[in-house]
Amino acid sequence: MEQVLVVNRQALEAKLGGQVWVTDHLDDLRQFILDHHTFLPRQQAEYDATVRQIIPYGILRRGGEYFLLRRLKGQTEARLHDKLSLGLGGHINPTEESAANPIEAGLRRELAEEVILPHLTALTCVGLINETTGGVSDYHTALVYLLETDGEVTVRETGKMSGSWVAPEDLREAYPALETWSQIVAQGLIFPGIV
């Protein structure tokens, strides 16, 4: 049974002050998560309102383009089927616990499972998503990483997702079809104040 990293919801939300897109004090927030986490069985954590699962959420950028994914029906999380997404990533497992940075280790493992990414030139934490308007977001908090590459990206899990590079103007047109987290990232990182 998969175990996933969680933190106490009330304690985390007290640190975030109700913000949905957080860009201040990211190092302090990551350290808080690392200092106050535990692991729960995923089946329990997915519907336990007392905790938030921490998800590293990687946004791939190549020059001025972003890698846009379509989540297919083969994906585990049914609540995200047919959604467009900017993010790659997933849960952090106990196997990452001993890494120097367990959150980034979880992100790298998820990336390796989901895509072939031959050359990563930079990995930077750029924000945190604390969106609680219902559904899957009520049980997850995302640490958002901008992943820079200068090469091609190939989707491994072709039964679960497809992907292609898009320019910001194309992303703006696709905005209504983006999953909520990707809309938050688009507004906060890619075209703030334009949507």
* Residue 55, pLDDT score: 97
> Mean pLDDT per 10-residue run, the chain (195 residues)?
95 91 95 96 95 97 95 64 86 95 95 91 95 81 96 89 93 92 94 66
Q: How many CB atoms lie within 10 A of CB 172?
A: 14
**What is the H or E stretch that residue 9 is in?**
helix 9-16
**What is the H or E stretch that residue 142 is in?**
strand 140-149
Tell which phi-psi region holds residue 46, choosing left (phi > 0), alpha (psi between -120 and 50) or beta: alpha
- Cα–Cα distances in angstroms (integers) from residue 12 to residues 64, 92, 100, 121, 141, in the given order: 34, 17, 22, 31, 9
**Strand, helix or coil for residue 51:** strand
Distance CA 180, CA 84 (A): 9
* Residue 165, pLDDT score: 96
- Residue partners of 40: CB distance under 8 A and separation at least 6: 3, 4, 6, 48, 51
* Residue 138, pLDDT score: 83
Domains of the chain with bracketed CATH: 3-189 (3.90.79.10)
pTM (2 decimals)?
Answer: 0.92
* Residue 1, pLDDT score: 86
Token pair recorded at residue 70? 């379509």
For 129, half-sphere exposure in the C-beta direction (CA atoms, 13 angstrom radius) is: 32
Backbone angles phi, psi at 86, to 5 degrees: -90, -15
Residue 137 DSSP code = G
32 in Cβ contact with 25 (< 8 Å): no
* Residue 46, pLDDT score: 92
* Residue 195, pLDDT score: 44
DSSP 57-91: EEEEEETTEEEEEEE-TTSS-GGGTT-EESEEE--
* Residue 80, pLDDT score: 60
Tell which phi-psi region holds residue 148, choosing left (phi > 0), alpha (psi between -120 and 50) or beta: beta
The per-residue pLDDT for range 18-29, each reduced to its tens digit, is 899 999 999 999
- Cα–Cα distances in angstroms (integers) from residue 172 to residues 109, 150, 167, in the given order: 30, 23, 9
* Residue 124, pLDDT score: 96
Q: Position 137: which residue type?
A: S
